[in-house]
């Protein structure tokens, strides 16, 4: 479904990504792991058309490199940023409605689906989003993206700073997303979560993919974990 090949990305004159390659299949959860600063977030921003890049990004066989971010989104790629980017003065309900695409009449997700998955959002539906807790804002950002009915969603550090109970809710949401046929490319710092929910994993180091395999391969390769993942 998604295939990035020889992907290079730049911030001004700084060369951040060095020939990244990765794939995500239909209905698959794939995690992108690595220490802070190795290029994980830049990878999904490059795929989304948010940073200058060269190489190839094909989504459902169509080339995405060169498109604007909003054009990529309309092709069916969703993006959940690490900094959440909610609209603080709008209500929870209004934030969710902003996620809907105008031409999507009957997608996989509706407002009630979001409220069923996260009852706390239903309780806060008419509250301004700016008064929500960090965990509630993360739920809202995830749900707003799903309201656009993406075929694949890229999620950047969704559990950062969240309480364990909220982390469990987020993990359950990922499983529900996958069950509905939506693929996930997950940037995640918590190794245990990534190993539990992913079919495959990539590890990044110095702007390149240094390892790829299944959760079992990561668990069994202590040397790789020590070199590229452990602090």
- Give the predicted TM-score (pTM) of the model: 0.91
Write the CATH number for 193: 3.40.50.300
**pLDDT for residue 105:** 53
The pLDDT-based confidence of 106 (bands split at 50, 70, 90) is low
Residue 66, judged by CB atoms within 10 A of its CB (0-12, 13-18, 19+), counts as exposed
φ/ψ of residue 196, rounded to 5: -75, -35
Give helix 134-146 / helix 164-179 axis angle, nearest 10°.
Answer: 10
Helix (H) or strand (E) segment spanning residue 15: strand 14-24
CA distances from 194 to 10, 28, 103, 107 (A): 27, 13, 34, 27
Which residue in this structure is represented by tokens 């209004």?
94
What is the domain range of residue 75?
Answer: 2-228
Mean pLDDT of 104-114: 75
Which two three-digit tokens encode residue 190? 């918590």
- CA atoms of 189 and 38, how far apart (whole Å): 12
Beta bridge partners of 18: 8
**pLDDT for residue 212:** 97
pLDDT tens readout for residues 153-190? 999 998 887 778 778 878 888 888 898 889 999 998 88
Kindly state the DSSP code that residue 34 receives in the 8-state scheme: -
Count how many domains the chain has.
Answer: 1
Nearest to 6 by CA among 91, 50, 63, 67: 63
| Range list of H helices, 62-186 | 69-74, 92-98, 111-117, 119-123, 134-146, 164-179
């Amino acid at each position: 479904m998604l295939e990035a090949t020889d992907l290079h990305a730049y911030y001004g004159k700084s060369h951040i990504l060095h020939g990244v390659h990765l794939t995500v299949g239909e209905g698959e959860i794939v995690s992108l792991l690595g220490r802070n600063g190795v290029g994980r977030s830049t990878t999904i921003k490059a795929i989304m058309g948010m940073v200058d890049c060269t190489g190839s990004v094909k989504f459902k066989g169509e080339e995405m490199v060169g498109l604007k971010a909003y054009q990529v989104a309309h092709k069916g790629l969703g993006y959940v940023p690490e900094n959440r980017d909610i609209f603080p003065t709008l209500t929870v309900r209004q934030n969710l409605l902003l996620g809907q695409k105008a031409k999507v009449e009957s997608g996989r997700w509706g407002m009630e689906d979001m409220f069923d998955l996260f009852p706390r959002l239903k309780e806060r539906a008419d509250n301004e989003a700016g008064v929500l807790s960090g965990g509630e804002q993360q739920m809202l950002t995830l749900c707003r993206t799903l309201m656009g009915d993406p075929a694949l969603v890229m999620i950047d550090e969704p559990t950062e700073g969240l309480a364990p109970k909220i982390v469990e809710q987020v993990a359950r949401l990922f499983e529900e997303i996958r069950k509905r046929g939506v693929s996930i490319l997950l940037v995640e710092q918590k190794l245990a979560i990534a190993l539990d929910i992913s079919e495959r994993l990539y590890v990044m180091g110095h702007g390149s993919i240094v390892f790829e395999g299944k959760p079992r391969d990561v668990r069994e390769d202590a040397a790789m974990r020590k070199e590229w993942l452990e602090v």
